[in-house]
Amino acid sequence: MNQSVVVVDYGIGNVFSVCNALKQIGAEPQLTRDIPTILQAERVILPGVGAFGRAMDALRGFGLDEALGSYVATGRPFLGICIGMQVLMDSSLEFGAHAGLGFIPGTVERIPSVDKAGDPLRVPHISWSKVKPATGVLPEQWQSTPLSGDEDHQEFYFVHSYHSKPSDASNLLAVVDHGGNDVTAAITKDNIVGVQFHPERSGLAGLNLLGRFMGSL
């Protein structure tokens, strides 16, 4: 199996941590913002931390918004991580209104600041948490994604104040509990998967997820 994967370098965050995690599972990551290299890649990962608007400014500044759209249209596997997941949406309300890549219809909104009883919750949401399939996700659908596995023992590392809200419920793949509220943990559409948590900081569970993504061809 070909173990090559492009990690998009657009100056936003945790690219070296992602590359190191990929190397741990035997993958061969190529960190680049070179558009021809991205377009020819067999797999692409878009990582990122920070604010939505800054991430989109960087992507547009390097011409990567159009390049990623062309790559996604090939049908080859694509994984977005944290901000790299959020920018897949149409827009965000973080620090004003910002347009996203529009690969998955919907918005990015602030996570709830109160629990189901009305008591205040800590925002940002920082935790090691289990995720579960979103309502309506069938077992066979779940098993075909990188999140498949022993869900009862998989905890992932979250640190975020906003989450993706797909317009179409079929694009919501997984949720995480935040004070009794279901907060988006993962989204999907066709060849795209996005995760809000950080697999590169999630120990064995994160490495297993990256391994399943690498086996998605």
* pLDDT tens for each residue of the chain, 217 residues long: 578 999 999 998 789 999 999 999 999 999 999 999 999 999 999 998 889 999 999 999 999 999 999 999 999 999 999 999 999 999 998 888 999 999 999 999 987 777 787 778 888 888 899 999 999 999 999 999 999 876 666 899 998 889 999 999 999 999 998 878 898 999 999 999 999 999 999 999 999 999 999 986 4
Domain at 4-214, CATH homologous superfamily: Class I glutamine amidotransferase (GATase) domain (3.40.50.880)
User: Using CA atoms, how far apart are residues 128 and 68, in angstroms rounded to an integer?
Assistant: 30
Q: So which residues are the catalytic ones?
A: 82, 198, 200
Annotated domain spans of the chain = 4-214
